Structure 1
Amino acid sequence: MSLSIPRLRIGSTEIIALADGEGPFFSPRTEAFPGATVEQWAEADRYDPGAVDAEGRWRLQFRAYAIRSDRGLTLVDAGIGPADGPAVAWAPVPGVLPESLAAAGVDPAEVDTVVLTHLHTDHVGWAVVSSPAGDRRPYFPNAAYLLQRAEFDALDTLNPQLRESLVDPLAAAGRLRLLDGDTPLRAGRAVATPGHTPGHQSVLVADGRERVLVTGDLLVHALQLLHPELAYSHEIDVEAARQSRKRMLGHESGTTLHLATPHLTEPFISA
């Protein structure tokens, strides 16, 4: 895959899209969005034609985002990971996030904050990796890893295997920090957007009348941008997810909202 490095600047802050992989979803898209009509699918395909392949499968991008400001460097999510990563059962591993970071001029040791939007395997793959000695270590050695407490508390429901492979190594290294709702960051703020998972969070960066929302899986397909009310079958709480989308996608007249989306074809879109 091509390692172009799209960037979006808002004031003095730069948001950098970092590709990690691309490939088909593991089930038919009509099962993922059972309530979508033929007309809504056609509308979504016009909006994001790259999200469907020649066989009619839902084609996903897998991205992380870096947020660089004069206060430091934040990474939002950690992609699908290496060949032995937790997403190996379904995602197109190995990912290329290390190469994307290098192409963007980002040293992993430079990252001071990693925001994990949620604990699905395609968002945490490079957070912790195996060392040559065989132990598990944070890939970003100097970063605090931020997770909503509600997500941490739901770990055994979401994916109990991540306790040993991800959460325990972060805690042992003194790198795990639990958040309780909306929290200021070095650049922008973490915003609780529950529903997709119990402790899902997004990241909002604002400057004047301009906003950038790094969505995580608040938004996984153009259908949800065009029709925020549509339920996604992989949401833990459909109604909470619907309310989170409506709340975050709405914005005041005269403001500009950019969306940084990990799974849509384009890394940056305007809502």
Structure 2
Amino acid sequence: MRSIILGEVEIIRVVEWEGSFGSARRIVPGAGIETWEANEELLAPHFWDRGSDEWIGALQTWVLRSAGRTVLVDTNVGNGRERPSMPAFHHRNTDFLGQLAAAGVRPEDVDVVVNTHLHADHVGWNTVAEGPGAWRPAFPNATYLMPAADHAHFDPGNGRALRPDDVALFEDSVAPVVRAGQAVLWEGEYRIDEHLVLEAAPGHTPGSSVLRLDSGGERAVFVGDLLHSPVQIAEPAHNSCFCEDAAGAAATRRRVLGRAADERELVVPAHFGGPGAFEVRREAGRFAVRNWAPYTA
């Protein structure tokens, strides 16, 4: 457990797993080796293994203690999922709920679950198995906030051709929460409390969102998969291989980074390893890291 406090909100970082996810060139395909080498000081060793040319990332959840409630931001992959086209996510078995317990969070303590978008590594621990092929919400007292646009996009009943893994994630990690009456499908903007508000940030997926924190004059923005690597801070035009709308994702990335620089927001991506979060500044028409969060201190 590693935590910081901004205003009246405590932010606890729970890292389920951290390591190499594969080729840096595959994860951010638009950035050639020359781009990574030019930004080596920014990237190595926490985010890029120069020797193997692999991207280093994390599966993690951010726990917010805000206005007397416990909020989880994204829920990783989950155990026992059928994800054959994603080997790193297929039939995982980790002690994530034990890690949450070590951070002082029992499933029944969670009041709000935020899914910044509905990709497999952001919804998995929404549910737990209760029998063969049967799933129930992992957090029985929580309201799950899901972007309505993503729910429509990934719903197998929408008539759109979907990958088998996307059908599976909807059926095991999204639909059970909706059937249980615990989901709120929001659009545009959704205020959680006086410190936290969700805002639409489409591009990575149609419903991708960011969660903004503003408390006591201190600010943060949880950006989900808007950034997979710091190489996208230096070169925000480069999308990850998972972005579904390339132009939209790049435009949203520039907009969110620009506001973070202007308002001194701590930027908290879903998959950054190492320090995990950073402040950004404008520098000669580009963006640069002002400083890293103190999680690794």
| TM-score, normalization by structure 2 | 0.82
Equivalences for residues 89-104 of structure 1 within 5 A: 89-91=86-88, 93-104=92-103
| Cα distance per residue 1:118-137 (max 9 Å; x no partner) | 12111112111102586311
Q: In the alignment, does 2:67 pair up with 1:70?
A: yes
Q: Secondary structure of the residue that 1:218 maps to in structure 2?
A: coil
Of 22, 31, 43, which residue of structure 2 is paired with 1:36? 31
Q: Secondary structure of the residue that 1:126 maps to in structure 2?
A: helix
| Cα distance per residue 1:137-159 (max 9 Å; x no partner) | 11111111111110001004471
- Could you tell me which runs of 5 or more consecutive residues in structure 1 were left unpaired when the two chains were aligned: none
Aligned counterpart, 1:109: 108
Of 45, 52, 55, which residue of structure 2 is paired with 1:55? 52
* Structure 1 residue 87: Cα displacement: 5.1
Q: In the alignment, does 2:238 pair up with 1:238?
A: no
| Cα distance per residue 1:74-94 (max 9 Å; x no partner) | 111101222x13557422632
Equivalences for residues 143-162 of structure 1 within 5 A: 143-155=142-154, 156=156, 157=162, 159-162=166-169
Q: In the alignment, does 2:167 pair up with 1:170?
A: no
- Could you tell me which runs of 5 or more consecutive residues in structure 2 were left unpaired when the two chains were aligned: 157-161, 281-297
Please say which of residues 86-95 and 166-175 is displaced more in the overlay: 86-95
Equivalenced residue count is 265
| Runs of 4+ residues deviating >6 angstroms | none
Q: Secondary structure of the residue that 1:245 maps to in structure 2?
A: helix
1:45/1:51 contact within 8 Å kept: no
AA in 1 matched with 2:220: V
1:52/1:58 contact within 8 Å kept: yes
Pick closer, same or farther for the CA change 1:184–1:120 going to 2, 3 Å.
same
* Structure 1 residue 270: Cα displacement: 1.6
Pick closer, same or farther for the CA change 1:254–1:194 going to 2, 3 Å.
closer
Q: Distance in 1 between matches of 2:261 and 2:206?
A: 30
Q: Distance in 2 between matches of 1:181 and 1:59?
A: 32
Aligned counterpart, 2:119: 120
AA in 1 matched with 2:276: P
Aligned counterpart, 2:294: none
Aligned counterpart, 1:255: 263
Q: Distance in 2 between matches of 1:112 and 1:169?
A: 17
Please say which of residues 60-69 and 253-262 is displaced more in the overlay: 253-262
AA in 1 matched with 2:68: R
Q: Distance in 2 between matches of 1:190 and 1:40?
A: 33
Q: In the alignment, does 2:246 pair up with 1:269?
A: no
Q: Distance in 1 between matches of 2:260 and 2:205?
A: 27
2:260/2:267 contact within 8 Å kept: no
Q: Distance in 1 between matches of 2:278 and 2:95?
A: 23
